[in-house]
Structure 1
Amino acid sequence: MDKTPASLPFDLVQTHPGLALLRLAALMAEGGAADDDTLDLMFEQMEVGALDGLSGAEIWAELARGLMGARPGAMVKALRECGVLDIILPEVAAVFGVPQITDTADEIDLGVLLVAALDAAAGRGAPLEVRFALMVMHAGKSDSPREHLPVHYRHMERAIPRIEAICDRLAPPQLCRDLALLALNECERVHRTSPVRAGPVAAMLERTGAFRDPELFEKLLLVATCDYFGYGDKEGDTHPKAELLRAARDACAGVDAEVDDPGMARAQAIATAFRSERWAQA
């Protein structure tokens, strides 16, 4: 297919060139391929200032369209390869090429992880806020001290203002901001959940809203699950640590929140459910 501007779909030709550029990328999330001609066209449009004057709300509408596609990772890759991601989401563009350690002590490019996790979210029919969280939650890792890589010390502190800046700039729904910040703080802790420490698990359930906002809690577990499968070497359909946290939450169902020490009562309930004296004493 000829990729000159005159041969683009009619609705793209008739709209603002910047919106046409973003919509073309969003359409790639529906299964289109970003061939060299298309990327060249997108780069040329970016170079001549097609994005100038677009509001954050207009940019967000097209990003949301692509994020909800069947292959959102393809949109992100295309935006990066033509240079547009550096303009509209520099905080996300910066994580490409940055190493992240895996649970096998190997390394993965954070950009590769981000793209794969987004596609895993699409495969699970995840809502927009989950996909947004997966896209932005690594933003604090782009400038980790080189001598510490692939470990990212204090990345959460660096990420908070960046995620808030993205949200201020693009104005996504409030739930996108809330879940992204929750995932930033808790996703890696989900991955590290231990079946022998009832106290910290009970505290995590309380902190992440497992009892007061179970829907948000489930979305956090979905973020963690998609991130887990983004590493590409996992088997099965579920994240073992997410299932462990669900079982721990269910074990607390009979605990009265009005007892003198609900945290201790929940820890004991979790320990009893998993028949672990060592866990009960943690």
Structure 2
Amino acid sequence: MHIYLVGGAVRDKLLGRPVVDHDHVVVGALPEDLLALGYQPVGKDFPVFLHPGTGEEYALARTERKTGRGYHGFVFQADASVTLEQDLARRDLTINAIAEDAQGVLTDPYHGVSDIEARVLRHVSPAFVEDPVRVLRVARFAARFAPLGFTVADETMALMRQMVDDGEVDHLVPERVWAETRKALGEPQPSAFLRVLRECGALAVLFPEVDALYGVPQRAEFHPEIDSGVHLEMVLDAAARLAPGDDLVGFCAFTHDLGKALTPADELPRHVGHEHRGVAPLRALTLRLKVPTEHAALAELVCREHLNAHRAFDLKPATVLKLLGALDALRRPTRLDTFLAACEADKRGRLGHEHDAYPQAGYLRAAHAAAAAVEASAFVEQGLAGPAIGAAMATARTKAIAAVKTNHPPS
């Protein structure tokens, strides 16, 4: 029995990045061998075990064979005869197909080390086309490693286009699409995720509402980048800078402008009412992909209310209180932070405006703090009851926000 460190752990060590997960492959063993050593089985589709001391994953070396469409259309063989090279061959990218033994010696049959040095995302073998999830994974790795200079190999992009053309991507289940998308939105450069999917044609299949933004013009005086799709890419990257690793902020940024694709042609490049037009396609997307409730709810609030955040200083105090109420921010203040991060990303996601200040965020946080300081107990002591308390609190909160506005200039 031989044990090797594999996959992302080896790749990230070679890149000088922190290693988060340690995955291992076991060659020359049977399930009963690991069970006898106290390993705990966890795999349903193939033999994976947890180390009795560290809790890290150890998988028996295996091969896989395509038997049908989609992610589940495979049969696996895992026994003592499967070699390390055979196990590595089934992996997606060469940079993920490197193994390291206990002495630190690398096994690299598919030249992943040289691809790391060349900053290339390249498929291991023609079997890449058998798993449509790999299209999303390549795009996600692009979002992670684009800041390091990684690009997708031409031949890999050609295979991805073939997979789209052959209808393989059509068979991806919503849960897998969402899982990979969610991870991509938490990566350092999510724009690369969109560009890779668009280049291979998968964006139009998986996210038609987003793909429709490309080529839609905006007013140059507000959006020097012109193209709504390019704007979205810039907003996603701004969100990643403002809230690193926060896929909730990322998803709000991802869907905030879907209404621009629905602006009547005779109104372009203006987009009056796009914040309301965007709600229907957003709901369609979240329903189709089974997006978590809070992601869907906050994304809709950002879609509908982001222009109110931008013009916060022009809003009446009562309207600011209404905005805080729509966000449920007085009970759930973290929602305001998410909302403001997405709105600030929208404002900064414009050519030449990447470092603009966003004083609206400070004002709305101060308004929230002032409103939250108004408590019901004071009005109960005055003898008020029932709806009268709520009305009195709304009046007091509006006055408190007005005072904040007086002392909080827009610049």
TM-score over 0.5 (shorter chain):
yes
Q: C-alpha separation between the residues in 2 aligned to 1:207 and 1:170?
A: 25
Q: Are residue 265 (structure 1) and residue 396 (structure 2) matched?
A: yes
Q: Which of 291, 301, 304 does residue 185 from structure 1 map onto?
A: 304
Which of residues 23, 27, 30 in structure 1 aligns to 2:144? 30
RMSD of aligned residue pairs (Cα, Å): 2.6
- Regions of 4+ moved over 6 Å: none
Letter aligned with residue 248 of structure 1? A
Query: Could you say if the C-alpha distance between residues 126 and 209 of structure 1 is closer, same or farther in structure 2, counting changes exceeding 3 Å?
Result: farther
Alignment partners' CA distance in 2, 1:93 and 1:117: 15
Question: Would you say 1:96 and 2:214 are equivalent positions?
Answer: yes
User: What's the TM-score, normalizing by structure 1?
Assistant: 0.86
1:206–1:168 CA distance, 2 compared to 1 (3 A):
closer
Give the Cα–Cα distance (whole angstroms) in 2 for the partners of residues 115 and 263 of structure 1. 39
State yes or no: 1:252 paired with 2:383.
Answer: no
Q: Residue 329 of structure 2: which of 201, 207, 210 is its match?
A: 210
Matches within 5 A, 1:15-94: 16-31=130-145, 32-34=150-152, 36-94=154-212
Deviations 1:180-213 (A, max 9, x none): 1111111111011125732222222222222121
Paired with 1:89 and 1:262, the residues of 2 have a C-alpha distance of: 44
What residue in structure 1 maps to residue 42 of structure 2? none
Matched, 1:220 2:339: yes
Q: Residues of 1 paired with 2:350 and 2:328: CA distance?
A: 26
| 212 and 50 in structure 1: CA distance in 2 versus 1, 3 angstrom threshold | same
Once structures 1 and 2 are overlaid, which stretch shifts more, 232-241 or 67-76?
Answer: 232-241
Residues 57/205 of structure 1: CA separation in 2 closer, same or farther (3 Å cut): same
Between the aligned partners of 2:151 and 2:159, the Cα distance in structure 1 is 14
TM-score, structure 2 length as denominator? 0.60
CA contact (8 A) 2:224 2:350 kept: no
Whether the 8 Å CA contact 1:101–1:107 is kept in 2: the answer is: no
Q: How many correspondences in the alignment?
A: 272
Deviation, 1:245, is: 0.7
Please list, as runs of the form range in 1=range in 2, the aligned pairs for 1:104-123 lying within 5 A after superposition. Answer: 104=222, 108-123=226-241
Structure 2: unaligned runs, 5 residues or longer: 1-89, 98-122, 377-388
> Which residue does the alignment assign to 2:10?
none
The residue type equivalent to 1:92 in the other structure is: V
Cα displacement string for residues 25-58 of structure 1 (whole angstroms, at most 9, x for unaligned residues): 1110112324544433321221122213221112
Distance in 2 between the 1:273 and 1:53 partners?
A: 53
Distance in structure 1 (CA, Å) of the matches to 2:144 and 2:93: 16
Query: Contact 1:102–1:231 (CA<8 Å) still a contact in 2?
Result: no
CA apart distance, 1:98: 1.0
Contact 2:225 2:351 in 1 (8 A): no
Unpaired segments of 5 or more residues in structure 1?
277-282
Q: Is the 8 A contact 2:135 2:197 kept in 1?
A: no
Trace 1:128-143 onto structure 2 (pairs within 5 A). Answer: 128-143=247-262
Q: 1:67 to 1:261 in 2, by over 3 A?
A: same
What are the superposed Cα offsets for residues 41-85 of structure 1, whole Å, 9 maximum, x if unpaired? 321221122213221112212222222211111011111121110
Name which of structure 1's ranges 130-139 and 28-37 shifts more when overlaid on structure 2.
Answer: 28-37
- What is the percent sequence identity of the aligned residues? 33
Q: Which amino acid aligns with 2:338?
A: K
Moved more, 48-57 or 88-97: 48-57
Give the aligned partner of residue 232 of structure 1: 351
CA shift in 2, pair 1:228/1:211, >3 Å: same
Q: Does 1:198 align with 2:317?
A: yes
Query: What letter matches 2:151 in structure 1?
Result: A
What is the alpha-carbon distance in structure 1 between the residues aligned to residue 229 and residue 300 of structure 2? 19
Say which structure is richer in strand.
Answer: 2
Corresponding residue SS for 1:108:
coil
C-alpha deviation, 1:275, in angstroms: 3.4
1:88 deviation in Å? 0.4
Supply the AA of the counterpart residue of 1:25: A
Letter in 1 for 2:303: L
Alpha-carbon separation, structure 2, partners of 1:105 and 1:118? 15
1:155 aligns with 2:286: no
How far off its partner does 1:121 sit? 1.5
Which is worse superposed, 58-67 or 90-99? 58-67
